[in-house]
Structure 1
Amino acid sequence: MTHARPQIRAEVAALPAYKPGKKPATSGRPVKLSSNENPFPPLDGVLAEATACLEGLNRYPDIAAVELRTALAESVGLGAGNVALGAGSVAVLYHLLSAVCEPGSEVVYAWRSFEAYPIAAGIAGARSVQVPLRPDATHDLDAMLAAVNEKTRVVIVCSPNNPTGTVADRREFELFLAALPRDVVCVLDEAYVEFVRGSDIPEPVHLLAQHENLVVLRTFSKAYGLAGLRVGYSLASEELTEAMAKTAIPFGVTQLAQTAALVSLGRTDDLRDRVDAIVEERDRVAAALRGLGLAVPDAQGNFVWLALGDAASDFAGTCELQGVAVRPFDGEGVRVTVGTVDENDRLIALAEQWAGAPVGATARS
């Protein structure tokens, strides 16, 4: 007698599992620079307000998150009907793909980019079309446009791109969006946009008024330091926003998360100071690594990318032995999150050791 088994969809069985950033060894002074987390605690006042929510854990959260959605909309000059929420911006992406994709459709995105993209596309029943990045680790928007066909439902542009840290040029993106068929949704994933400095990047709110097929993704996980609460959101047309609400898991964003995000949204000065500190450290780390002869492209997130190729695993192994966890991508490179000053100094010292440079050669002046 044949033993019957539950049937798993072939598309799901073939999917890779999402791999979170590795935790450092617990001995010594462990440093985790593998998950693009904010090294600072939540902004002032957030913990107090969030803690007050604990007394209401027996109640469901506001399923429509009206207060938070309204505040987000007002902060960018849109209406609440243009804002959808999810448990992180990646959840909002899942909602979108579920709403617009169907078996046999295609999702186009750059590669290497965010590891969740192929998983999200596969779950929605769509086929991934991966377009290689340019040699400078930026999106090849012309090649991505050429990959669009009658099966394409969504194109994703990650800016700053995770894990390479590069951004999409404003003019190039506008031309790309104008040339994209109107029935193809363009997702501009801006999870790290608060960290961008000195670059002419797209102005999505302005573009939303002209392109009903544009969806902008943002999150409270990175700059705001709320990764543990999972609050992401989208800016889009009312039609697409309504569709995403229909495919979202009910009550997916807790009241605790909604409250923390709402309080964080009002702490603009504190946010700017913390982001500026991270950006200053990012630029210092990138300069130090380049000073060792390592290839580091333009870094505009809260991380830097070391284009080490086949040496990626070796570098990550060197770091791991010293209790520093980074994120290797075998055969391609290593992504290193910007941590505290001391944590970054340890990373730089390890890079010096690995590169064979005199210890202290790139020390902070």
Structure 2
Amino acid sequence: MSHPPSAPTPRRNVLEIPTYVAGKSAAPRPGLTSYKLSSNENPYPPLPGVVEAAQAAVAQMNRYPDMGSSALYDALSARLGVPVSDLAAATGSVALIYQLLQAFCEPGDEVVYAWRSFEAYPIAVAAAAATSVRVPLREDGHHDLSAMSAAITERTRVVLVCTPNNPSGPSVTQAELDAFIATVPAHVVVVVDEAYLEFVRMADPVDGVATYRTHSNVIVTRTFSKAYGLAGFRVGYAIAAAPLAGALRAVSLPFGVSGVAQAAAIASLDAEPELLARVDELVSRRAELVAGLTDVGWRVPDPQGNFVWFALGERTTEFAAVADELGITVRPFAGEGARVTVGEPESLERVIELARRFAR
């Protein structure tokens, strides 16, 4: 006869959840401006009108936010040309990943995704008591979609495609995504995680909205944290067929997206011309950075987000330490490599100097 534990014990899967490691802030360096390049944040201040909209919402902080996010859904519906029934909002696109795994996975069900990819994937899978099936990226940092297709079994319930892939940088093309989805059983959810879609500049880019329209098992996730610069307010949204979007809303945290965040997101949508100008500038800086890295002997995977990836292996920890000495913080993944955000113009030369010291 087994004896009960002497103290409350979490479920086994909870004890196995990996810890999320957030990007560090830059340490002050005497005589040196420090730059945080570890969290893929937008270096620009809020878009025009956003602070004012947020401040107006703050004045109502004694009231609950609109639980239905109706004004935000209306704005997104108008912008994207999709019905409100096909939308679900949450505290960042990462919350939607948690919700969809909770909604569609029984304990032990399998979730297939590329690795390395977004750090929250294995955490969210473990939290749902599901099983991660990690498929190694190709040598060039791209998804190996044929291997991911081969990894699907009768236990698979969800497949995650992060495009552009965080942290390696490359995107899949629409043709590649279409061919992949054609191999996925109709009952398996295909998540197209487009957190960085605004930064993509390539031939045949993925159109998440068009993909959802032609596939009833596709959920597209997007965020206001990156291009829109609302990382501190936590707003993301999903686009999916009404039954799938409804399932995400059903498991959402009531009143999860604050009233201030909803107001800021709507105002950010209204500031699209300025947004696009800023994104174009960041894309231009990305190209400048890649050119500088090439000049000092580095070849980075094709960066389609607002960051670049350095495959460093065992030199990763040393790379991060030298970055700190140069007044910049990067996001190291021990034994694998480091991700570096495209930030302020002044930070680019620091990153190039860092790369020069580690030239291959």
Specify the TM-score bucket, using the shorter chain as the normaliser.
Answer: over 0.9
Deviates more, 1:21-30 or 1:122-131: 21-30
Kindly indicate whether residue 50 of structure 2 is the aligned counterpart of residue 50 of structure 1. no
Contact 2:26 2:327 in 1 (8 A): yes
Deviates more, 1:276-285 or 1:340-349: 340-349
Contact 1:318 1:354 in 2 (8 A): no
Trace 1:37-186 onto structure 2 (pairs within 5 A). Answer: 37-186=41-190
Amino acid at match of 1:8: P
For residue 128 of structure 1, report the CA deviation from its aligned partner: 0.2
For residue 4 of structure 1, report the CA deviation from its aligned partner: 2.2
For residue 251 of structure 1, report the CA deviation from its aligned partner: 0.4
Kindly indicate whether residue 47 of structure 2 is the aligned counterpart of residue 22 of structure 1. no
Between the aligned partners of 1:355 and 1:139, the Cα distance in structure 2 is: 26
| Normalised TM-score (structure 2) | 0.96
For residue 324 of structure 1, report the CA deviation from its aligned partner: 1.1
Between the aligned partners of 1:262 and 1:84, the Cα distance in structure 2 is: 15
Kindly indicate whether residue 348 of structure 2 is the aligned counterpart of residue 340 of structure 1. no
Trace 1:210-289 onto structure 2 (pairs within 5 A). Answer: 210-289=214-293
For residue 146 of structure 1, report the CA deviation from its aligned partner: 0.6
Out of 7, 10, 16, which is 2:9 matched to? 7
State the identity as a percent: 50
| Normalised TM-score (structure 1) | 0.95
Amino acid at match of 1:27: R
Residue of structure 1 in register with 2:331 after alignment: 327
- Report Cα offsets for 1:92-117 as digits up to 9, x if no partner: 11111110011110100000000000
Between the aligned partners of 1:323 and 1:72, the Cα distance in structure 2 is: 39
Point out where structure 2 has 5 or more consecutive residues left out of the alignment: none
Point out where structure 1 has 5 or more consecutive residues left out of the alignment: 357-365
Between the aligned partners of 1:312 and 1:36, the Cα distance in structure 2 is: 18
Out of 204, 212, 215, which is 1:200 matched to? 204
Out of 303, 309, 318, which is 1:305 matched to? 309
For residue 5 of structure 1, report the CA deviation from its aligned partner: 1.8
- Report Cα offsets for 1:46-76 as digits up to 9, x if no partner: 0011101111000000001011112112211
For residue 3 of structure 1, report the CA deviation from its aligned partner: 8.2
For residue 31 of structure 1, report the CA deviation from its aligned partner: 1.3
For residue 138 of structure 1, report the CA deviation from its aligned partner: 0.3
Contact 1:174 1:202 in 2 (8 A): no
Contact 1:164 1:305 in 2 (8 A): yes
Amino acid at match of 2:199: F
Between the aligned partners of 2:190 and 2:266, the Cα distance in structure 1 is: 27
Residue of structure 2 in register with 1:361 after alignment: none
Kindly indicate whether residue 190 of structure 2 is the aligned counterpart of residue 190 of structure 1. no
Between the aligned partners of 2:245 and 2:280, the Cα distance in structure 1 is: 32
Would the alpha carbon gap of residues 142 and 354 (structure 1) be closer, same or farther in structure 2, given more than 3 Å must change?
closer
Contact 2:219 2:238 in 1 (8 A): yes
Amino acid at match of 1:339: G
Contact 1:88 1:230 in 2 (8 A): yes
Between the aligned partners of 1:295 and 1:328, the Cα distance in structure 2 is: 18
- Report Cα offsets for 1:249-294 as digits up to 9, x if no partner: 1000001000000010011110110000100111111121122112
Deviates more, 1:268-277 or 1:5-14: 5-14
For residue 349 of structure 1, report the CA deviation from its aligned partner: 2.3
Deviates more, 1:15-24 or 1:182-191: 15-24
Root-mean-square deviation over aligned CA pairs = 1.5
Contact 1:294 1:308 in 2 (8 A): no
For residue 295 of structure 1, report the CA deviation from its aligned partner: 2.7
Contact 2:296 2:352 in 1 (8 A): no
Amino acid at match of 1:5: A
